[in-house]
């Protein structure tokens, strides 16, 4: 299988070829490795590759034999390094598979490497000191987003059709938007975080994926959803597989539009124009679309402060655990300035302040739930601006404390985190592109708790009405850069 042929299929399509005997899993894996060799020196999305240790049975699952990459955080593969994008965890090797890794294996995925993440996944751009910046395949001067930026860049450039991602504040949806991909953040409790983790960032973080087609994301979520014994959260299982939802009509939906974000950052003209075009497309498909005023349940300053306390206190505990396990100091030799500042900020968060922050989480969840009673779906831009140049987030970062860093991230991505706090599903869809630059623009759609099926139906309709599979970036394994 030539690389140019490999990149023309999504994961479900590749799996079907293998099930039909038209190509072997070994040939598909070879094509994926050739794709990685062709593009990764330019985008720096992959931290490490290794020999695959699973032998999938073609046809045994909808994704059996599909090449796959895991993120360098939040998932453990026995005998493989997981370094959290940090010098603090350099060389750390997992002793056993996490629950999610076991599910990836059962899905028949051929996991042959790990993708880059910012240190401790604590940024929305992927520029760690440990392995260097990941570059956007659409324009190498730009950020690929974060914290699943390595996954986003690798999928966009054609290395794999789908890759593991996580999302605690937009970390899955932001790279999807920056790289022209589909990415759905599931409901809290949909995918287990166990067994080593309880409720990452107090339930703000979830597992998911970024992909080039909606059906790939649906097929993977079908394979990994469901609780493990002892999980602190539970999401009711869907009545039918998500893979079936993609081809079902969503019916006419009432969609509320939030064009300007909480917090005051204005949506830039290119993104506002893309939003307007998306609204017109939705109306042409029979949906009722109207402007909505969505109350957050907290003022912006309180929202940022509470999330800073939750996230930095969690970070501090994680850093202390890693440092103790590996016998390393917690200082500038092991942590980057924003992470170290957040660590020290978290040390000062009191128990009472932490509980107050959880109360804010409850208010936001209940406030947004009321709007999902009035609207079937909420629509916002995923980001208020186009992908930013590398280095943008690092400007004057050494002068920021932990609160200042969280404020900066929320300011640059003001639409995403509310749905992490509320625990509801949200997806970024590459409905359109910027007319001036050709850069992808992601649109975020959110639904009520447990309603991923509704989002998949809508995403499938949008993919048919405004296909994005033909849009490929400048760095593309199937193009001139490929074999």
| Active-site annotation holds for 147 | yes
- Average pLDDT (336-356) is 98
Residue 211: Cβ-neighbour burial (10 angstroms; 0-12, 13-18, 19+): buried
Residues 11, 181, 94, 47, Cα dihedral to 10°: 100
Cβ-contact 152, 118 below 8 angstroms? no
* Strand 67-71 with 110-115, pairing: parallel
- The pTM of the full predicted model, rounded to 2 decimals, is 0.98
Could you say which of 99, 143, 148, 171 is catalytic? 171
Q: What's the total number of domains in the chain?
A: 1
| Percent residues over pLDDT 70 in the chain | 99
**The pLDDT value given to residue 54:** 85
Asked if the structure places residue 97 within a domain, the reply is: yes
- What does DSSP assign to residue 387? P
Cα 318 from Cα 325, distance rounded (Å): 11
Per-residue pLDDT band for 482 (boundaries 50, 70, 90) equals very low
Average pLDDT over residues 328-355: 98
| Angle (CA) 10 11 16, round 5° | 100
The pair of three-digit structure tokens given for residue 295, joined into one six-digit string = 């109350």
| Position 479 in a domain | no
> How confident is residue 44, by pLDDT bands cut at 50, 70 and 90?
very high
Neighbour count for residue 228 (Cβ, 10 Å): 15
pLDDT at residue 355 greater than cutoff 80? yes
Pure H helices in 327-451 = 337-347, 351-374, 402-412, 417-422
In a domain, 471, yes or no: no
> Could you confirm whether 211 is annotated as catalytic?
no
Q: From CA 37, how far away is CA 80, in angstroms rounded?
A: 20
Greater pLDDT, 82 or 469: 82
Q: Which residues of 63-94 are buried (b: 16+ CB within 10 A; e: fewer)?
A: bbbbbbbbbbbbbbbeebbbbbbbbbbeeeeb
Percent of the chain with pLDDT over 90: 96
Whether residue 480 lies inside any domain: the answer is no
Choosing from 71, 86, 99, 143, the catalytic residue is 71
Give residue 196's Cα distance to chain centre.
Answer: 21
- Tokens 């992808």 -> residue: 440
Instruction: Work out whether the CA dihedral 317, 319, 322, 326 comes out positive or negative.
Output: negative
246: in domain: yes
Q: Which domain holds residue 125?
A: 3-465
**Can you list the alpha helix ranges (DSSP code H) found in 11-53?**
11-19, 25-43
CATH value at residue 311:
3.90.1300.10
**Which neighbouring-strand residues pair with 427?**
184, 445
For residue 71, indicate whether it is catalytic: yes
Average pLDDT over residues 238-246: 97
Task: Report yes or no on 478 lying in a domain.
Answer: no
The tens digit of pLDDT for each residue in 169-192 reads: 999 999 999 999 999 999 999 999
pLDDT at residue 198 is higher than 90: no
The separation between the first and the last C-alpha atoms of the chain, rounded to the nearest angstrom, is 11
Q: What is the DSSP letter of 81?
A: B
**Half-sphere exposure of 296 toward its Cβ, with a 13 Å CA cutoff?**
22
- Mean of per-residue pLDDT scores for the chain: 97
473 in a structural domain? no
- Residue in this structure with the two tokens 């623009």, named with its chain if needed: 441
User: Dihedral through CA 311, CA 312, CA 316, CA 318, nearest 10?
Assistant: 20
The answer to the question of residue 211 being in a domain is yes
Catalytic residue from among 147, 148, 192, 217? 147
Say whether pLDDT at 97 is over 80.
yes
pLDDT of 224 higher than 60: yes
The owner of tokens 């970062």 is 397
How distant is the alpha carbon of residue 180 from its chain centre? 12
Residue 386 to residue 177: CA distance in whole angstroms: 9
Residue 375 has pLDDT above 70, yes or no: yes
């Amino acid at each position: 299988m030539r690389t140019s042929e490999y990149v023309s299929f999504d994961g479900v399509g590749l799996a079907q070829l293998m099930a039909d005997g038209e190509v072997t899993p070994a040939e598909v894996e070879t094509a994926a490795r050739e794709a990685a060799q062709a593009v990764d020196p330019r985008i720096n999305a992959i931290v490490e590759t290794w020999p695959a240790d699973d032998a999938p049975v073609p046809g045994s699952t909808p994704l059996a034999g599909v090449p796959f990459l895991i993120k360098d955080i939040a998932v453990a593969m026995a005998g493989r390094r997981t370094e959290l994008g940090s010098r603090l965890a350099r060389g750390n090797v997992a002793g056993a598979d996490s629950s999610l890794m076991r599910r990836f294996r059962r899905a028949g995925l051929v996991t042959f490497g790990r993708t880059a993440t910012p240190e401790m996944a604590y940024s929305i751009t992927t520029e760690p000191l440990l392995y260097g910046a990941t570059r956007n395949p659409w324009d190498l001067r730009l950020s690929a987003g974060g914290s699943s930026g390595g996954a986003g860049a690798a999928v966009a450039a054609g290395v794999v059709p789908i890759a593991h991602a996580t999302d605690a504040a937009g970390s899955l949806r932001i790279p999807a938007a920056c790289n022209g991909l589909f990415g759905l953040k599931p409901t809290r409790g949909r995918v287990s975080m166990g067994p080593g983790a309880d409720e990452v960032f107090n339930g703000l973080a979830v597992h998911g994926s970024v992909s080039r087609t909606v059906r790939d994301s649906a097929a993977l979520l079908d394979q990994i959803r469901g609780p493990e014994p002892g999980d602190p959260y539970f999401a009711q299982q869907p009545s039918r597989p998500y893979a079936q939802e993609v081809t079902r009509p969503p019916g006419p939906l009432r969609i509320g539009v939030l064009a300007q974000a909480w917090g005051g950052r204005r949506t830039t003209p290119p993104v506002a124009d893309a939003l307007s075009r998306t609204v017109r497309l939705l109306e042409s498909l029979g949906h009722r679309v109207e402007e909505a005023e969505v109350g957050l349940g907290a003022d912006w300053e309180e929202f940022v402060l509470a999330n800073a306390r939750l996230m930095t206190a969690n970070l501090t505990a994680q850093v202390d655990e890693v440092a103790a396990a590996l016998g390393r100091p917690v200082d500038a030799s092991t942590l980057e300035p924003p992470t170290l500042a957040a660590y020290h900020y978290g040390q000062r968060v009191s128990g009472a302040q932490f509980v107050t922050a959880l109360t804010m989480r409850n208010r936001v969840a209940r406030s947004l739930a009321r709007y999902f009673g009035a609207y079937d779906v909420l629509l916002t831009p995923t980001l208020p601006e186009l992908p930013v140049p590398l280095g943008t987030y690092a400007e004057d970062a050494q002068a920021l404390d932990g609160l200042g860093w969280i404020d900066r991230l929320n300011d640059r991505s003001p639409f995403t985190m509310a749905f992490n706090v509320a625990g509801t599903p949200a997806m970024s869809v590459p409905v359109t592109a910027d007319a001036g630059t050709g850069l992808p623009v992601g649109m975020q759609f959110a639904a009520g708790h447990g309603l991923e099926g509704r989002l998949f139906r809508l995403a499938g309709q949008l993919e048919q009405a405004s296909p994005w599979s033909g849009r490929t970036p400048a760095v593309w394994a199937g193009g001139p850069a490929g074999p």
